[in-house]
Chains A and B, each alone.
Chain A
Amino acid sequence: MAEEIILLLLIVVAGTGGELCVARTMQVVGPATDVRPAALCRLIVRVLGIGWMWLGLSLMALAFFSLLEMLSLENVSFVVPVTALSYGFGALGGRVFLQEQVTRKRWAGVLLVCIGVGLVLIGKR
């Protein structure tokens, strides 16, 4: 049971943590001003030179392998709906880690999305 709990935590925390690190990278880089292919390539090269990006990609990979391991232990119908929790964790991370203003309205929206994603995944048959 302890292994399952650790894996679930890794799926939610490492997965969302990875995305938060990517978001932090884009905060460091600043808003993209040019979306032409050459400029996008330059942006990608610049992004790959930032430590947060590599941390983010590593955390996402960790979450992915944890998901694979978890799927070998538990049913998909149990594991996948748990990923809905990542929306709540993402809003919390946005507030704490990225200093975003998560208003009550945004929290309400995130809560609805969590419930909706949970229902979609449960109702998959």
Chain B
Amino acid sequence: MGNPQSQPQAEREEGISGEVAPHLDAEESVGTTPGQAAQSLAHGRGQRKGMRTTAFFLSRVYLLIMLMVILGPLGNILLGKGMRRIGAAAAWSPAEIIHFLTLLSRSGLIWLGVACLLAFFAAYMLVLSWADYSYVQPASAMAYGMVALLGHFLLGEAVTPVRWAGVLIICAGVLVVGHTPPRTTELK
């Protein structure tokens, strides 16, 4: 047990999660590099600030994952609806392709769908700059639950019991992953 390698898991997680916040807090302060600010924090700017920044960091990660969970399915639904309204191209002649692209560019649903997916990808890249991939990927699976909920409550679709069970298990999985520190790697 004296070996640091065999330190309990929970203890190691706490240590890692504590390291994350100062790094991110560092970037908030103007004119300091992450390394400098992390050092000054390490030299004792206080535990309270560390806790505050941990909460701030977590809220940013949760907010962006929430945005991803909403924007991804919404973008796909809008694109699907837009494409169904336009219909498939009848032939692949140049004239037909130009006509098809003109229809696409005039569709508000398509533009909205593309905007949602672009915003989704921006949120995805941002959250990956703050948190682990192995944290973000399972957390974003909440999108499956969101689709089932939206389908049931907004569109009145029937959701089978197997699907509800799946949604509940995903939520449980996301809760378990959410109890691990979002970032476990050192910043470069």
Contacts and interface: CB of A to CB of B under 8 A. Distances in A.
A93 B133 contact: yes
Interface string B23-60: 11001100000100000000000000000000000000
Contacts, number: 165
Contacts of A49: none
Given A31-B24, A100-B184, A95 B141 contact: no
B137 A90 contact: yes
B79 interface: no
B162 A122 contact: yes
Contact of A87 (B128, B138, B168, B171): B138
A9 B45 CA distance: 50
Interface string A85-121: 0010011011100111111111011111111111111
Contacts of B125: 22, 26, 32, 43-44, 47
A124 B173 contact: no
A22 B128 contact: yes
Contacts of A90: 133-134, 137-138
B67 to A, nearest CB: 11
Interface residues of B, number: 53
A123 B179 CA distance: 28
B105 interface: no
Of B27, B130, B184, most buried by chain A (CB within 10 Å of CB) is B184
A100 B186 CA distance: 9
Contacts of B166: 115-123
Contacts of B161: 123
A98 B185 contact: yes
A94 B159 CA distance: 33
B121 to A, nearest CB: 9
A44 B125 CA distance: 9
A102 B179 CA distance: 12
Q: For the complex of A and B, list the 9 residue pairs with the smallest distance between their C-beta atoms, beginning with the closest.
A: A119-B166, A112-B173, A123-B162, A94-B134, A109-B176, A116-B170, A116-B169, A109-B177, A123-B163
11 contacts: A31-B27, A32-B126, A44-B125, A91-B137, A100-B184, A108-B173, A109-B179, A111-B173, A113-B174, A119-B165, A122-B162
Given A30-B129, A113-B177, A120-B166, 12 more contacts: A23-B133, A31-B34, A93-B134, A95-B134, A100-B135, A104-B9, A105-B9, A109-B179, A113-B174, A114-B173, A116-B144, A116-B166
